[in-house]
Amino acid sequence: MQHLGNDTIIDYLHRELAPGEDAAVLMHLEACADCSVRLNLESAIGGRLRAQAKAEELDLPLGMREAIMARIAAEAAAPTPWERLAAWLRPAVVVPVVAAAALAAVLIPMGTQHAAAPTLPVMYYLEEHAAHAQENPLADRSATVMMTSLERTASTETVPMMQAVNAASLVDSGAR
Amino acid sequence: MPRKPVEPSTPEQNAFVERAIEQYGKATYNFAYRLTGNEADARDLTQDAFIRVYRAWRSFQPGTSFLSWIYRIVTNLHRDELRRRKGRFQEEIPEDNAPQEFGGQKPLAVHPIDDYVERQLSEPLSRALRRLSSEQRQVIILADIEEYSYQEIADIMGCSIGTVRSRLHRARALLRRLVLQEQERPQQTR
Ligand SMILES: [Zn+2]
């Protein structure tokens, strides 16, 4: 009589044999004590693994949920690409940019002909920023305010802004 | 590696993750613990897995098994971590081509083994599990502890049923051999 292979016994134990083969194995097991003992051993190993896993079962560590939710909150607050760019620009770059923009805005009306005079809103914002920058050049809040208004400035006043940026890059590289 | 922009988290997204931790956190942690064999790695793995759940929550299909999904995530993260460590530490886990088993048909003496096994098996099994390759250990955990079908294991591990089958056969052969060695030991007056 051909005995069952170990692999067949394992597949049988896990109920993974095709129906025909499964029935044949069952018939063999009923007639063969040796193979039954081997099946029992495999079955006992499985049972012992489960019992052991259950006995060793751990509770979720305290604070795990909070740690995960904190990481999620941090990830949700992580900067978008635009915010990363903004972060890169502030405040070392932004402050000089604004200062230079303010300077340009002051200088341009005084007789230079290559650009139109800034409109009133632009003047207002630039002066406002210069004041912020002087009060507290490194304050995150003022830098944020400056970024927002820089966007508005850029859309209404291209030429002085370009000059301001050029000036700012000089200021910035000089500062290092 | 650039990450794709994360959508702003919504209350339902957070609620989804919280509920998932509540219901499956313990199972996930225990699965990670059995894979890694230590609590610190299991903790990291569990956290990372739920972060993935958070990022990919929309790809979870309701009506499918969440546990299978997160086990798959844990399995992948664990595999990545092992690859990363392989460069830095000496690999202590044997490769998948584990030692060959004895001739498959070794006849056993006919005596009741169950009682003995029930009492004495734990210790050798713990040791034996540690000697399996990580793939073999995974397949034992999934097939024998979690009692998944071969098809479900293939889905979780991202491999074919044939691979599941052969890994399980090898892993079981190793466990069996260790158990039989332990069993013979008391009879040999050493
Ligand atoms: Zn037989």
B69-99 pLDDT, tens digit each: 999 999 999 999 988 887 665 444 444 443 3
Q: Which domains does chain B have, with CATH numbers?
A: 9-85+107-116 (1.10.1740.10), 121-185 (1.10.10.10)
Contacts of A58 in chain B (CB under 8 A): 26, 29-30, 33, 39, 42
Q: Which residue in chain B has the smallest CA separation from A59?
A: B26
* CATH 1.10.10.1320 in chain A, residue ranges: 1-81
Angle in degrees, 0-180, between the axes of helices B11-36 and A64-76, rounded to the nearest 10: 130
- Specify whether the CB–CB gap between A34 and B105 falls below 8 A: no
CATH architecture of A1-81: Orthogonal Bundle (1.10)
Interchain contact, A48 vs B175, CB within 8 Å: no
Q: Which residue in chain A has the smallest CA separation from B54?
A: A72
Q: Which amino acid is at A26?
A: L
Centre of ligand 1 to C-alpha A4, Å, is: 5
Q: How many other β-carbons are positioned within 10 Å of the β-carbon of residue B173?
A: 20
Q: d(Cα B97, Cα B125) in Å, to the nearest integer?
A: 19
Each of the 176 residues of chain A gets a pLDDT tens digit; together they read: 699 999 999 999 999 999 999 999 999 999 999 999 999 999 999 999 999 889 889 999 999 999 999 999 988 887 666 667 766 666 666 666 667 777 777 666 554 445 454 444 544 444 444 444 444 434 343 333 333 333 443 443 333 444 443 433 333 433 33
Q: What is the pLDDT of residue B179?
A: 83
Q: d(Cα B142, Cα B150) in Å, to the nearest integer?
A: 9
Q: Which amino acid is at A15?
A: R
Judged on CB neighbours under 10 Å (0-12, 13-18, 19+), A15 is: exposed
- B63: confidence class by pLDDT, cuts 50, 70, 90: confident
Interchain contact, A37 vs B108, CB within 8 Å: yes
Q: What is the pTM of this model?
A: 0.63
Closest CB to B150 among A16, A68, A80 = A16
What's the token pair of residue A167?
A: 């000036």
Q: What is the pLDDT of residue B88?
A: 63
* CA dist list (Å): A11 to A140, B66, B120, B148: 65, 26, 25, 13
Q: How many other β-carbons are positioned within 10 Å of the β-carbon of residue B187?
A: 6
CA angle B1, B9, A142 (to 5 degrees): 80
Predicted ipTM? 0.74
